[in-house]
Chains A and B, each alone.
Chain A
Amino acid sequence: MSIVPKETIEVTAQSIGITNLSPEAALMLAPDVEYRVREIMQEAIKSMRHSKRTTLTASDVDGALNLRSLEPTYGFASGGPFRFRKAVGHQDLFYTDDREVDFKDVIGAPLPKAPLDTELVCHWLAIEGVQPAIPENAPLEVIRAPADNKIYEQKDGPLIDVRPPVKHVLSRELQLYFQKIAEITMSKSSPALFKEALVSLASDSGLHPLVPYFTNFIADEVSRGLNDFQILFNLMHVVRSLLQNPHIHIEPYLHQLMPSVVTCLVSRKLGNRFADNHWELRDFTAKLVSLICKRFGNTYHTLQSRLSKTLGNALLDPKKALTQHYGAIQGLTALGHNVVRLLILSNLEPYLSLLEPELDCEKQKNQMKSYEAWRVYGALLRAAGLCIHDRLKVFPNLPSPSPSLLHKGKGKIISAETRKRKLSADSSQNQLPHKRLMTTTDGLRPQDHTGPAPMHVDKPMGKKGNESESRHQNEKERGKGRVITMKAILGQIWKDDLDSGRLLVKLHQLYDDRILPFIPSTEMSVFL
């Protein structure tokens, strides 16, 4: 029968005061009620369509009732969704659930915020038929595989002119852009232009469609250009810019990118000339690795573990060249102190014993080899130092040490630092570092910085040293006015974290004083 049950009619009749409606009358009325409701809804749907909506609202029904000169429904205009309740004891009887509202609550409630005013914003939905990847547009679909394209076109037969699928996807502008960037990257002539290109890569918003092409390009060129240091360096810069670009969603392409990056870190040979400073490239790449891990570590759980595994293997393989070891150490250092502790420090002793003969210039006649060995030694030192530094930083409240102690400490720091810098510089001259050390321990000598350093090789390390120095100073200032006895702290260190104490001792044994600059002054004062 009608979809309106006769109970509904009866209830409605009662609600308007007709109590003696006979069941027959209700039965007769039901079909008509349904027809009228449908009629109203038909008009309401028209009203909805002309309001350019696809959901029917109470106001549409009111509009339809108005067309029929009927009284509109009241109390439904608020727009909130209605809750219908089933009437107890009846199967298909529903009523709207009206909440009782306390006047006090309504009056006491804070005034609602004024609604925002209507505004109009303009953007490009498409430029010459291509949708730019801007936040205003719906996210682009992943670029269609060429195979699909082909099938589609073949199906449609001769009506459709077949064109290479890639050109459909990439606009002419993007193609040109890609070509230009590739050209600049491969040319070594104009560093200024390249810098501009990098800025553009790091900031432009519409580059997403090019990402697969760039990853491909980088992978190709790295594998081809292992002998060309400059190109490798440029490529790594490109990688960094791409990583920096906030509009690019590079994650899906990371797995293609990582091999190239790791290659630049731990390859046996990068560049073919002696003058090529592949150390710098390795340091830069190491930073890149840490950047990647920081950004995608959360989403790519296996990323860091896989990386550290690869690098750890490279480090612990005695057959690998020292340059490779250096890269691996730098990479691991960039991954954070936990990794360093796990992979480097645990293997430090045996490794150093292996390295020892290389370091000794008497035993190792090859200058180059010796230099490399010293580089590795420096990197290891840095890794261990940074690690211990980070660990000691964990202790928050250290008292300000006595001024004399501090001064002493500072003197030590500076001297040690110069020493370290000398270390690498000197080693290139194949002098025994210990002699030098002896000469420089007595204090800070400015000429040491400029004097016997023909190659400015150790820039990142030097910077690091400066940083740590300034950090010490901050620490010093902050530490002032704290009154906790030294003893307590010492006790805390040995008690709370036995590990770091022991680690320090061990490192000290291995490195003598060279580890000291990495220890924050206040902590150092504690130990001293």
Chain B
Amino acid sequence: MDPEQLDEFVMGYLKKKGFNGAAKQLQDALHHNNNNNNGTGSSSSFNSTDYHNDPELTKLIRSFSQSENDPTRYRNGYSNLRSWAYNSLDLYKHELLRVMYPVFIHCYMDLVGKGHTQEARAFFNSFRKDHEMIHLRDLQKLEGVLVPSHLEEMEFARSLRQSKVNIKICQYSYDLLLQYLHRTESTLMLGIINEHINFQVYSGQPNSSSDDIDAVTIVGSFQETADHVNQKEIQWGLLEDSLEDRLEKTGSLLTDSEKGQGESKDGDVDDSNKKRSTEIGKQGSSLKKLKKDKAGNATAKVARQETSTVSPAPRVKSELALPVMSTDVEESILEDLRNRVQLSSVAMPSVSFYTFVNTHNGLNCASISHDGSLVAGGFSDSSIKVWDMAKIGQAGSGALQGESDTNDQVAGPNSRRNYTLLLGHSGPVYSATFSPPGDFVLSSSADTTIRLWSTQLNANLVCYKGHNYPVWDVQFSPFGHYFASCSHDRTARIWSMDRVQPLRIMAGHLSDVDCVQWHPNCNYIATGSSDKTVRLWDVQTGECVRIFIGHRSMVLSLAMSPDGRYMASGDEDGTIMMWDLSTARCITPLMGHNSCVWSLSYSGEGSLLASGSADCTVKLWDVTSSTKLTKAEEKNGNSNRLRSLRTFPTKSTPVHALRFSRRNLLFAAGAISKPTS
């Protein structure tokens, strides 16, 4: 490039960028220069054109001029960076490779943004393999973006463009990267990296790749808010004066005092425990004092919990006005709890499986009551069918019962069906849930409503309208009366049975809220979303108190451990994650299923987790080993995996619902799918 061309380019560049003044000056200078050169030949004092003599600068300008609009620049730059990263030292490789994904998607979006649709597609296709393993879902989303306007329209792309990605990287890797970028003068890559990546450089050796979960979800500044949110304090303990509590007090003096001894190291906290164990006799008078004690200690316990995981769950107060349970219901629950089978990794539960036959592919959801006697199915033809297994068990009485049940259904003259048909929705029913005593059923549907049904009257009682889009899931609270729902409209809502308007609206998810679950103490709900996060919300304030990041695809099922300390979530890919609620960290991912995990359930004492999946299996996981071992794991850096204890394959029946009864019998339900051919 001869000097004239260079000048011209610099000129054009300045003009294009709107530096009109500078351009004019330059023009003048050039003019002047030329005159000087041509005329007097005297050297000018004006040194604006010394870039002609500076080879570095010339090169830089040349690269600019070549490729201001050249789409192949991205491809070349990226592929160079990629091959450099892949050939780098093993120790630092994974950190450097982590940088590749943000660079990749931003290169792609830059290309799209500049209108090089074809090149963008080619670029995308040639490198997508690198990232498919971890980021498949994101890539699928981005793949469709082909026109600049899509970038504006699509929320995901917009948030990517606007925010920076945090990447933890060790000092040496960082230096290596910068060195490379400067040496090769790949200004384009440098620009992208500067613009979209926020390096958190730390000194010392690079991390082992164990914490790559953090790097999985690129939500930009979202991560910071998540970190911020997760600082909030939550009280995950069980409700004080719960039935379990009472049973413990009346039932087992021994274990209680043992616990008291176990905790004797912790100062004032175990005072209350000791008090409790000593004052069992005169419960009545001391109870009030005890409560006060505990309320004060609750926060201390949260902190303490991290040091000793074997201690019992702390007690917290309910922030909701809970419904009063009738004494006979209470009695039956207490009876069940007394008769509970103790499960562990060596004492497996029995599994009773309810198979729906002749569903014609129409079963959308199934639900099992707490005692397993009632089973509800929600169908795509808007109907809900409720079976009373206790009645079906009595052979021969089917005819009689069929007649007595038909008070509100239009039964054909010769049809003697053994279920109750509930009609009312006007769209596919996506979820159904039983109230704890089994006297009510709630259902949610694509018609945006939630309906309350009575299993005694077999009739619709209330229709709750509030959501604007299909309601994906609805769940009764552990004590009934309140329920939570979640919807395609990206909100979760809290309702009570006696109001047709929602009491709280939880907004914050970036995509559909797909599932919802109550915390055992009723003060929190957890929601799983298509934005691949799980959030925990305070029911009283409606605030988000935890964000759990780590899933790689949409979250389909949630379960809370009975002690309220852990949560399990299952996703579309078959991964189950165990979370510690207080730290918002994933204890360990449970790999094993190879298709959607539709349902999760903890056993009564929380030692086993059951998962039901579309791959036609029920799996049992030993949860105690993992939670106990977290401490050891932290110490010796040994990443343990939760044990998969058993796999029960069904006969080509995807498992839609699971529930441990109070006596620890596991119920499962699913519709048999005949091989289609």
Contacts and interface: CB of A to CB of B under 8 A. Distances in A.
Identify the interface centre among A47, A117, A118, A122: most chain B CB within 10 Å of its CB: A118
Contacts of A54: 595-596, 614, 654
Contact of B469 (A34, A42, A51, A67): A67
B446 interface: yes
A44 to B, nearest CB: 12
B352 interface: yes
Interface string A220-246: 000000000000000000000000000
A276 interface: no
Contact of A35 (B147, B356, B358, B379): B147
Interface stretch (B62-70, B179-187, B310-318, B415-423): B415-423
Given A35-B150, A51-B364, A59 B350 contact: no
Interface in B140-164: 141, 143-147, 150
Nearest to B153: A35
A63 B266 CA distance: 57
Nearest to B379: A118
A400 to B, nearest CB: 53
A1 interface: yes
Nearest to A1: B118
A42 B141 contact: yes
Interface stretch (B81-89, B294-302, B491-499, B640-648): B640-648
B430 interface: yes
Interface in A421-463: none
A79 B379 CA distance: 16
B375 interface: yes
Contact of A129 (B348, B361, B364, B380): B348
Contacts of B577: none
Contacts of B141: 42
A128 to B, nearest CB: 5
A352 B606 CA distance: 79
A124 B357 contact: no
A50 B356 contact: no
B347 A128 contact: yes
A96 to B, nearest CB: 19
A117 B144 contact: no
Nearest to A54: B614
Contacts, number: 161
B117 A2 contact: yes
A97 interface: no
Contacts of A121: 354-355, 357
Interface stretch (B232-240, B384-392, B435-443): B384-392
A160 interface: yes
A126 interface: yes
A50 B614 CA distance: 12
Contact of B650 (A34, A59, A79, A137): A137
A101 interface: no
B147 A31 contact: yes
Chain A interface: which size bin?
Answer: 35 or more
A116 interface: yes
A349 B585 CA distance: 90
Contacts of B652: 138
A39 interface: yes
A209 B646 CA distance: 17
Contacts of A130: 348
Interface string A122-158: 1111111111000011100000000000000000000
B105 interface: no
A478 interface: no
A120 interface: yes
B165 interface: no
Interface in B98-130: 117-118, 121
Contacts of A251: none
Contacts of A119: 356-358, 418-419
Contacts of A122: 352-355, 389, 392
A487 interface: no
B277 to A, nearest CB: 32
Contacts of A39: 144
B674 to A, nearest CB: 12
Contacts of A115: 358, 360
Contacts of B150: 31-32, 35
A38 B618 CA distance: 33
A90 interface: no
B145 A35 contact: yes
B333 to A, nearest CB: 23
B164 to A, nearest CB: 26
Contact of B117 (A31, A38, A116): A31
Contact of A128 (B145, B349, B645): B349
A67 B470 contact: yes
A48 B389 CA distance: 29
B635 to A, nearest CB: 15
Given A50-B514, A121-B354, A63 B415 contact: no
A115 B379 CA distance: 15
A31 B119 CA distance: 13
Contacts of B620: 129
A369 interface: no
B11 interface: no
Identify the interface centre among B146, B354, B379: most chain A CB within 10 Å of its CB: B146
B193 interface: no
Given A2-B117, A63-B428, A159-B625, A118 B347 contact: no
A295 interface: no
A125 B648 CA distance: 7
B349 A129 contact: yes
A455 B596 CA distance: 73
A35 B146 contact: yes
A385 B418 CA distance: 61
A38 B651 contact: no
A52 B572 contact: no
B74 interface: no
Contacts of A63: 428, 446, 470
A476 interface: no
B342 interface: no
A269 interface: no
A34 B415 CA distance: 49
A125 B650 contact: yes
B195 to A, nearest CB: 25
A52 B472 CA distance: 11
A46 interface: yes
B662 interface: no
Contacts of B143: 38
Contacts of B525: none
Nearest to B430: A50
A53 interface: yes
A160 B146 contact: no
Contact of B668 (A52, A79, A125): A125
B133 to A, nearest CB: 20
Given A34-B146, A51-B364, A54-B595, A120 B387 contact: yes
B358 A51 contact: no
Interface string B339-371: 000000001111111111111110111000000
B428 A35 contact: no
Contact of B350 (A120, A128, A160): A128
A238 B209 CA distance: 60
17 contacts: A46-B514, A54-B596, A59-B380, A63-B470, A115-B360, A118-B385, A119-B419, A120-B354, A120-B389, A122-B354, A123-B352, A125-B618, A125-B668, A126-B349, A126-B618, A137-B650, A159-B640
Question: Closest 5 CB pairs between A and B?
Answer: A129-B348, A38-B144, A31-B146, A125-B353, A125-B351
Interface of B: 117-118, 121, 141, 143-147, 150, 347-361, 363-365, 375, 377, 379-380, 385, 387, 389, 392, 415, 417-419, 428, 430, 446, 469-470, 472, 488, 512, 514, 530, 554, 556, 572, 595-596, 598, 614, 616, 618, 620, 625, 629, 640, 643, 645-646, 648-652, 654, 656, 668
Given A2-B117, A35-B146, 6 more contacts: A50-B470, A54-B614, A67-B488, A125-B352, A137-B650, A138-B649
